[in-house]
Structure 1
């Protein structure tokens, strides 16, 4: 190994995703040890095992996690990327499970961050901190003001499991990607937040709480994933250059979206007291997930550009509502040029509950070519009747993909498949199985 070119050895070391592995390599080779200071990244995460040992009867036998990080950092000549945090099993530990008033894993602590940040700020481009919620949830951090003061070349910032302040933040014009996940943010209306990141292009706000009337107003934003907490709120999003949006919420009191350049949109919520969206002139792919599809379709503007549409009825279960007014006629009235339609299992159950799934004014829809459906087969005869109603009158339909739930008994699935393929032999069929939390699985012909 020592005979390899130094550039190749350095490349090997840089591909190690865990800085602990780099430290082990330094012990095995003098060449590794000599070249390791030229690495430009740190990736260090505390494991659940290390945390448990640090709380044992002899905690002094475990080197403090922060000390390990500082030692690694002090040996590097130039740092461009820092990724520090706790591993996923440890992130699942909640304050209700264990009371921990220590600060050894409080990684967004102002003193700790300020101590090492000033040493690398000039070259730092990427920063990711995943804090330990048990220690950070009751301690407010000034991480964001510190980063904005020192890291003028930072382009990507990711912070998870922390209580953050945005007070006295400086603008960060170089930052283009920001992720805040499971964060308590002290900014009720996001005003300072919008001012601080003027050139942001990628924004992920996942489970960020503390808002009353959150408003995202970012002129250069192109991709956004915004997952809002359960509390009702007034949500506003004004983003003239946004292309991709995933918005998840439960029951916003008011929802207003102004994104004229949007082309890919995933909207998931129960319902809103006030729903307002400006027309989307460029929207081509739309995933709609709500409690009552029919209600939202009544408020959604007619969108001529949508070609691929996915429908999912959130929390719909058989017997929850005896009758639904959700029909494909209403879907194609709002999205008249859709050629590819995906209907998830809950939405299909809602469709089955309708007296006429197509609607009274169905015209055959020659542009409607591709259908993908997810079935539970709770009542196979009722499901087949609904399938027959749709397939018999969709004159342009050619490609059909049907996914049956993995828990459906084999002979029930085989019988349903045989009836479908026999009645509509002209269609191009694809079959598969699905289950919540698992990837869809395609089934070869004859495998059922």
Structure 2
């Protein structure tokens, strides 16, 4: 180790995923002890095992408090650019009702704790992340945002998870370009203060934030946004003239207002909305929609002509009486310039049922389709083969077809379907796989 150049050793120490190893390195030799103070990042997370030992009468006296470890670890560190602290996922997933814990040793957004070390390292700090212990933090309102805004003028990335945040005393932070708030308690007026104090945000992730009724995101420089709404607000508004990518997941808002003219990649998941006010995003190329009633929602959107890649699925199981309106013909009426179409299992079922009822007329836009991916729900192989054959015939310029078969389908039936499909149209590139509810798609093979 002594033969390595000091910059190489520091680089190795910076790559440690668990900074408790950094404390161990300090005890190893004088060289590591001296160079450990030159690291520019700290990553420290409390494990479930450590938490349980700190609660056990047999072991708790031998466990150093987690906050003490962090405070001691970063003492005298003067080059820190990144600090990430929190509890590991097994602790974050413990339901509140399953564990009563009134202590504060893992309340990591506690201002008295953060103020003991943050001012000393704030001058060069660029990235800061907290993953709090919800059971200890959810009933304690934290002013940590105000503390951060007073001391971290160079901060560009901020992440806070599992906390109840206050915006009282929050100062503007024009250097901040990326903000993640996940499982946070906020009110509408708090979100308005976030809009005002972080005006240069380019990335904003608002995931599972409760307490909002009519939330609005109003950010001039925003380019990417992921917004998962945990409750059922009255209305949702996104006004971001430079937004390119939006992933929005909500339930039943009364209204959805989007003023995002440069939006090109839009993922939307919702049950329904009574009113849509969408200024047409002329740049939209990719649209991913998941909803309880695909056909009714698709017909409300005005921007179909620009979409080149469309992904569809439903939040509910298909019902025969409701399925006849959603067809490939209807899709190409709304999205006439699609070159890529991906269907989830419920969307595929609806479209196949529609095919059984009214066939497939064909639209001029179908000749633009180059890629087709579908999660098959095979109840009758002859019907599935007939539908796939019709798609291949109407979409005459298809180059790539990827079909996933449900894992419970008999292997002989699946093999027969694969062979017959490939015989129908050997000119396309075929790809086959299996799908299962709640699991990642498993691709099996490619064929020509």
TM tier, shorter chain?
over 0.9
Structure 2 matches for 1:35-434, cutoff 5 A?
35-58=35-58, 59-188=60-189, 190-315=191-316, 317-319=317-319, 321=321, 323-354=323-354, 355-356=356-357, 360=361, 362-363=363-364, 365-434=366-435
Per-residue Cα deviation, 1:101-151 (whole angstroms, up to 9, x for no partner): 000000011111122221112221110000000000111111111111221
Gaps of 5+ in 1: none
> Aligned pair in 2 of structure 1 residues 23, 357: CA closer, same or farther (>3 Å)?
farther
Per-residue Cα deviation, 1:51-90 (whole angstroms, up to 9, x for no partner): 0001001422110000000000114133211100000111
Shift of 1:206: 0.6
Per-residue Cα deviation, 1:162-194 (whole angstroms, up to 9, x for no partner): 000112211110000000011111344722121
Aligned residues: 445
TM-score normalized with structure 1 length: 0.95
Shift of 1:384: 2.7
> Aligned pair in 2 of structure 1 residues 445, 171: CA closer, same or farther (>3 Å)?
closer
Query: Matches of 1:386 and 1:184 in 2, distance apart?
Result: 48
Q: Does the CA contact (< 8 Å) of 1:199 and 1:221 recur in 2?
A: yes
Gaps of 5+ in 2: none
> Aligned pair in 2 of structure 1 residues 101, 204: CA closer, same or farther (>3 Å)?
same
3-state SS of paired residue (2:417): helix
Root-mean-square deviation over aligned CA pairs: 1.8
> Aligned pair in 2 of structure 1 residues 233, 301: CA closer, same or farther (>3 Å)?
same
Shift of 1:318: 4.2
> Aligned pair in 2 of structure 1 residues 419, 364: CA closer, same or farther (>3 Å)?
farther
Query: Matches of 2:80 and 2:407 in 1, distance apart?
Result: 48
Query: Matches of 1:321 and 1:137 in 2, distance apart?
Result: 45
3-state SS of paired residue (2:91): helix
Shift of 1:319: 4.0
Shift of 1:273: 1.1
> Aligned pair in 2 of structure 1 residues 412, 153: CA closer, same or farther (>3 Å)?
same
Query: Matches of 1:90 and 1:165 in 2, distance apart?
Result: 24
> Aligned pair in 2 of structure 1 residues 97, 275: CA closer, same or farther (>3 Å)?
same
Query: Matches of 2:79 and 2:370 in 1, distance apart?
Result: 56
Shift of 1:370: 1.4
